[in-house]
Chain A
Amino acid sequence: MSAPRASTDNSAGAQRAPRTIGWLLLTPLLLWLALFVVVPTAILFVYSFCQRDELGQVVFAFTPTNYARILDPVYLGILGRSLWYAALTTTLCLVIGYPVAYFIGRSPPARRSTLLLLVMIPFWISFLLRTYAWLSLLKGDGLVSALLHGMHLLAGPLDVLYSPTAVILGLVYTYLPFMILPIFTSAEKLDNSMVEAALDLGAGPVRAFTQVIIPLTRPGIFAGVLLVFVPSIGMFAVTDLMGGAKVPMIGNVIQNQFGQARDWPFGAALGISFLALFAITFWFLHDRGEARR
């Protein structure tokens, strides 16, 4: 394939419908999406209007009560708190992750891959295992406590575990790589001559950062915020393990409906509402992102 031909192909390809071979290549993906995204969501949607019997089995009799229950202040309050925790997690991830991503993106290529590897290594270990590791690090007579005592920075026992602080710590730890990686991709592509031009034209470092670097890395920031914010609303394992299951998040409430409470229809209604909320958030963020550009 010669280069110029490929480029003409590409420019025309945007408007042209995919040919048979294209559809054939797409089939596995479409099948996958249909089987594991569309069908389960449809089942969830149907369940959300059903009832449960004494044994907790789903009975196919229409009722809107599951959605009415979500409007109960108990669940709205929990949803509000989940959003707040997710927002806090996202902000912390952005503040911590941005400099890291930028630094990695601007390092020489050889070092870049090493640094990137370091960010990704935790993914090789099971998420639950890493959370349990935090438990033994943070426990009253654990390593962190001993270290702080040794440095005379702490008098009493370390009392972080099983508190909201521990939950936020766990969430930030879990989702930080999801912030770093997309911002890194943007920072890596950042054209240094743009920054230099800004500096030449009299912008100080702060101005160059806010008016050139941030707008150019915005797609990465947008993707990172979405990748952190959305899953951290629904997270339940961290709240259970590191928070001692004391303060429920919306994820715990949903999990409970499919477990202990055996109320699948209510759990499904929560899930569907949640999905709608995600879609709206995405649309809102995306729309604003487009508008700014």
Chain B
Amino acid sequence: MKTRLGSLLALGLALGAALDLSAARKEVNLFGWSEYVPQEVLDLFKEETGITVNYETYASNEEMLSKLLGGAGDYDLVQPSEYVVESLVKAGKLAEIDFANVPNIRNINPAYLHRPHDPEQKYSVPYMVGAISIVVNTERVKEPVTGFTDVFSGRYAGRIVSLNDNRELLTWALQTLGRDFNAVTPENIAAARPLLEKWLPQVKIFDSDSPKTKLLNGDVDIGIVWPGEAAILHREDKKFACILPVEGSHVTIDSLVIPQEAPHKAEAEAFINFILRPEISVLISRAFPYTNPNSEACKLLTPEELANPASFPKGVETLPTFKAIGKAAAQVDKLITDLKSGS
């Protein structure tokens, strides 16, 4: 009996010590896109600062919003795209970043700062950016493809993979019509309808998770995919040509932001400053070849990496960005659902 009591006591002490340790352990909770932050970078950060990064992932902005607004997790850092940053700022959900702790912001190309989603650059720091690309398997498609009109000319019906993203689909149609893609009005939706009615039946697969697999497998010959996926395809095999559509494009700016209630704000700022270092930022670029907004990091990339047309398309920094469309999302959802059903 005595020994059992003794061991219980020891266990209690050990537990107490463990609890103490966890309280003292420095950590930061990062809620980021899946396949976007290399483990190597998190390890280096821990090695240097002793701060553990708990990396939780999401696959879409909407999934992230559900968890963040639902109050799940004590997130210190989140990686929303620009139109979500805009909504979060408006709703007062983000903390102002103390840029005295983030001097490395000077490494960011000014073209990506003070954009409409954060005009005073108080709440966000660009992480990676990119423009939607058209990817063509040049072994199977010999004719030149320059934009959406070529992709949906009817010649490639049943050979196309497209992002399964309602707002993107509408945007491509509005750009082809020369209209403002941020004006999601009933009039613009009506104008885009006949064009999308012609386009959607030509798509073989809608996939937002991994459209590149369908191109690699040879299921399809043309794709409209996320910028990072296009860059990976081109890196794997040069037969995949990446094209910025002539009708126009938009640049997605994924940023690091700190939620209003973040429990580890100082650590979060330290992390942002850390990944803005050129030698760290270049590691992210190598793992996930999106467009790197960090000018100093770009200087460390090889000429071949810089020549990847999906990573660094011409003029990407001057492209416009998405604005939040709020409740109009329901109209876009209905339009695409209707058109898909009709096909």
Contacts and interface: CB of A to CB of B under 8 A. Distances in A.
A99 interface: no
B80 to A, nearest CB: 11
Interface stretch (B14-22, B28-36, B61-69, B179-187): B61-69
Contact of B330 (A240, A245, A246, A263): A263
B215 to A, nearest CB: 13
B138 to A, nearest CB: 19
B65 A56 contact: yes
Nearest to B332: A261
A117 interface: no
A74 B341 contact: yes
A263 B329 contact: yes
Nearest to A81: B341
Question: Could you say which of A162, A240, A256, A263 has the most chain B C-beta atoms within 10 Å of its C-beta?
Answer: A162
Contact of B218 (A141, A244, A245, A261): A141
Given A55-B65, A55-B69, A55-B91, A266 B203 contact: no
Contacts of B340: 246-248
Interface string A55-84: 111000000000000001011011001000
B205 A162 contact: yes
A244 B207 contact: yes
Contacts, number: 88
Given A55-B69, A56-B62, A162-B205, A260 B338 contact: no
A140 B221 CA distance: 12
B153 interface: no
Contact of A54 (B60, B66, B164, B326): B326
Contact of B217 (A77, A78, A139): A139
Contacts of B283: none
A134 B63 CA distance: 27
A40 to B, nearest CB: 14
A77 B206 contact: no
A141 B90 CA distance: 50
A253 B338 CA distance: 11
Interface in A215-259: 240, 244-248, 253, 256-259
A261 B88 CA distance: 17
A161 interface: yes
Nearest to B334: A74
Classify the secondary structure of B's interface with A: helix
Contacts of B207: 244-245
A140 B65 CA distance: 38
Contacts of B205: 162, 244-246
Nearest to B167: A260
Contacts of A72: 334
Interface residues of B, number: 34
A234 to B, nearest CB: 16
A162 B326 contact: no
B166 interface: yes
Interface in B13-69: 60, 62-63, 65-66, 69
A244 B341 contact: no
Given A55-B69, A259-B62, A260-B62, A161 B341 contact: no
Nearest to B166: A260
B330 A261 contact: yes
Contacts of B333: 256-257, 260-261, 263
Contacts of A259: 60, 62-63
Question: Could you say which of A78, A261, A263 has the most chain B C-beta atoms within 10 Å of its C-beta?
Answer: A261
Contacts of A75: 337
A78 B341 contact: yes
B302 interface: no
B284 to A, nearest CB: 27
Contacts of B195: none
Contacts of B149: none
B219 interface: yes
Interface string B302-343: 000000000000000000000010110110111001101101
A262 B65 CA distance: 9
Contacts of B96: none
Contacts of A54: 87, 90-91, 324, 326-327
A52 B90 CA distance: 16
Contacts of A55: 65, 69, 87-88, 91, 326
A231 to B, nearest CB: 21
Contacts of B204: 162, 244, 246
Contacts of A261: 166, 329-330, 332-333
B203 A246 contact: yes
A141 B329 CA distance: 38
A73 to B, nearest CB: 9
A52 B334 contact: no
A238 to B, nearest CB: 14
B341 A77 contact: yes
A263 to B, nearest CB: 5
A240 B207 CA distance: 8
Interface string B206-231: 11000000000111000000000000
Question: Could you say which of B62, B164, B337 has the most chain A C-beta atoms within 10 Å of its C-beta?
Answer: B337
A133 B287 CA distance: 28
A291 B95 CA distance: 65
A74 to B, nearest CB: 4
Contact of A245 (B65, B206, B324, B338): B206
5 residue pairs, one from A and one from B, having the closest CB atoms? A244-B205, A54-B326, A245-B206, A261-B333, A74-B338
6 contacts: A161-B219, A244-B203, A244-B206, A246-B343, A261-B329, A263-B333
Interface of A: 52, 54-57, 72, 74-75, 77-78, 81, 139-141, 161-162, 240, 244-248, 253, 256-263, 266
